[in-house]
A and B are shown apart, each in its own frame.
Chain A
Amino acid sequence: MEPVNQPVREAPVFERKKAGRVSPKRILFHVFTATLAVLLLYPVIWLFVSSFKESASIFTTSHSLIPDPFILSNYAEGWKGIAGQPFLTFIKNSAIIVGLSTIGAVMSSAVIAYGFARIPFKGKKFWFACMMGTLMLPHEVLMIPQYIMFAKLDWLNSFKPIVVPQFFGHAFFIFLMIQFIRTIPEELDEAARIDGCGRFACFWRIILPLIAPALATSAIFSFYWKWEELIQPLLYLNKPELYPVSLALKLFLDTESASNWGAMFAMSAVSLLPVILVFFLFQKYIVQGISTTGLK
């Protein structure tokens, strides 16, 4: 089995032509892919550019990528917030939800993955199948009964319905970590166990540090799923002071008018910034996560 933690290799050299000379085919390749890249990212660039335009001119000058005049007031306006809440409140709420969910999901998934990957026990196949099954389960089936359950627990208008389930493991992360643990030679923890290391100490001291890349990948995915998530906050949070960024943007859209387009665009851009930043900083881990599990 191939170790999963090595960086994605460059393409096999089979098609490689003599180095040094720029062939017409290579030029064609770069023209095609670069055009495609511009086309694909044009909407995003347009969004960012529009956030520096005056609200009234966003749609009258939508063909132009140069804001004239260039203004920053959309950001000031959007930052003031909506529904009586400053935008910072929404960011703070998102940070709390994302932070707690991520810690919960990553830690619990690591413990569970160790159990599946390293300990032989009765019924393992069954529970593993259940775990993989939850990956393929349409969550609509759970939406209504979970809502009723959390309502009965009096958890509505708190972060609990969104955060607490994360502390019981996430199938995608468990699967990712199992794949990763399997690449670590078993002799390593066997040796430690002969030296008197218990199962948990073995997991904590030996496996956990070694699967750090898988933990990082999971944390990154958890970050951006939870940051972008709409449906759960939409169900469980009804007070603007509890809204995360995703719901706040929906508020901007609900009260959409020609006068606040600029602010809506600006805050949309603000909401995308952390995601894009994390993506460019940690894309190595993301690429690994997707390539090794074949999931997303």
Chain B
Amino acid sequence: MTGNGADAMKKSRSIRKDNLAGYAFISPFIIGFLCFTVIPMGASLFLSFTSYDLFTAPKWIGLDNFKEMFTGDEKYWQSLKVTFTYVLAGVPLRLGFALFIAVILNNAAKGTAIYRTLFYLPSIIGGSVAVAIMWRNIFGNDGVINALLFFVGIDQKILWYQNPTSALWTLILLSVWQFGSSMLIFLAGLKNIPSSYLEAASVDGANRVQRFFKITLPILTPIIFFNLVMQTISAFMTFTPAYIISKGEGGPLDGTLLYSLYLFQRAFNYFQMGYASAMAWVMLVIVGLITLILFKTSSYWVHYESKEE
């Protein structure tokens, strides 16, 4: 009893010490989390029910911001439409392309390192202002894209940035152009597939296509799923290319008015901080719902192996 008691006391002291040490080590995170995430989120929720121009005190207006957003603001709906088109077209194209290239690189045993490097480079520089400026200019009326199209026999100049649809598609292309980081993740996943699986299937007479759809793809689904979630979230937040390419306008005819860009305009061009906060919270709810839907549907198509490792 006494020995047990002493042991227990010693144990509880060491647990207390661990607790203290643990919190000491993660304290920077907790402080930062409270100051830069929790408190701002609370403030933003409050502001979304107010009218606030940064200079006079916030005025409580209840649900007016949301009412205005959904019933009185055509530009808001336009920005939603643009953003959904951007996400729904861009993310699958990017992931599909990344997977396609990863499979090709993975099948070729040798000499792929240089391609891997070159294909990945756009992901590194893609978010920069310099690349946005570059993109704006290659799709210009006399830009290199039209020059190349002329070269292959299309002599009608395409005025990419005069048409809302084609302008948005240049942004989608810019997003697909940065497929390299997803490609790397898929490559890492492909390399972890035991070759014995594929060999066994091959012996059983499965051809290349069958092997891909029956073995490779199911094993990759958790990675695809995780990528899909993360890329969808980050696609919803895209700002820099739309801001630079349209010079902050979101034009032509609001064709590239991504959600973040419109939010930025409301907040920092018109100083409607309350309205912009309400927009931010709706965005949070939309992203949350989409993530939830993805997770809910994942049980139908994401294949988790029983843990063996």
Contacts and interface: CB of A to CB of B under 8 A. Distances in A.
Nearest to B130: A268
B265 interface: no
A268 B125 CA distance: 11
14 contacts: A16-B109, A40-B177, A46-B144, A50-B137, A63-B144, A115-B24, A119-B22, A131-B33, A140-B237, A142-B36, A246-B128, A275-B125, A283-B117, A287-B120
Interface string B219-251: 000010011011001001101100110010000
B42 to A, nearest CB: 8
Contact of A11 (B120, B136, B142, B191): B191
Interface string B251-270: 00000000110011001100
Interface stretch (A25-33, A80-88, A182-190): A25-33
A229 to B, nearest CB: 8
A96 interface: no
A1 B309 contact: yes
Contacts of A167: 28, 32
B117 A43 contact: no
A230 interface: yes
A231 B29 contact: no
A230 B237 contact: no
Interface stretch (B67-75, B159-167, B180-188): B180-188
Contact of B151 (A8, A37, A63, A275): A63
Interface string B5-35: 0000000000000110111111011111101
Given A1-B309, A16-B109, A290-B184, A36 B119 contact: yes
Contacts of A13: 109, 195
Nearest to A37: B118
A29 B289 CA distance: 41
A137 B229 CA distance: 12
Interface in A261-283: 264-265, 268-269, 271-272, 275-276, 279-280, 283
Interface string A1-17: 11000001111111110
B273 A144 contact: yes
B29 A174 contact: yes
B233 to A, nearest CB: 6
B93 interface: no
A194 interface: no
A127 interface: yes
Describe B's contact surface by its main secondary structure: helix
Contacts of A257: none
Interface stretch (A67-75, A208-216, A248-256): A248-256
Given A34-B115, A63-B144, 8 more contacts: A11-B107, A40-B122, A60-B142, A131-B33, A137-B284, A143-B280, A149-B43, A230-B243
Interface residues of A, number: 102
Interface of B: 18-19, 21-26, 28-33, 35-37, 39-41, 43-44, 47, 54, 101, 104-112, 115-125, 127-131, 133-138, 140, 142-144, 146-148, 150-151, 177, 181-182, 184-185, 187-188, 190-191, 193, 195, 198-199, 223, 226-227, 229-230, 233, 236-237, 239-240, 243-244, 247, 259-260, 263-264, 267-268, 273, 276-277, 279-281, 283-284, 287, 291, 309
A165 B125 contact: no
A20 to B, nearest CB: 12
Given A141-B284, A276-B121, A279-B124, A146 B21 contact: no
A121 B44 contact: no
Contacts of B190: 11
B87 to A, nearest CB: 12
Contacts of B28: 108, 111-112, 167-169
A158 B150 CA distance: 48
Nearest to A133: B37
A287 B104 CA distance: 18
Contact of A112 (B25, B122, B129): B25
Nearest to A171: B29
B23 A121 contact: yes
A294 B226 contact: yes
Interface in A215-257: 224-225, 227-228, 230-231, 235, 245-247, 249-250, 252-254
B125 A138 contact: no
Q: Which of A16, A286, A296 has the most CB of B within 10 A?
A: A296
B267 A143 contact: yes
Contacts of A231: 239-240, 243, 264
A189 to B, nearest CB: 12
A108 B26 CA distance: 9
Which A-B residue pairs are the 3 nearest by beta carbons? A168-B32, A115-B25, A121-B22
A44 interface: yes
Nearest to B223: A294
Given A62-B147, A138-B236, A144 B44 contact: yes
Nearest to B25: A115
Interface string A123-167: 010010011001011111111111111010000000000000101
A47 interface: yes
Contact of A121 (B19, B120, B227, B239): B19
A8 B188 contact: yes
A285 interface: no
Contacts of A63: 144, 147-148, 150-151
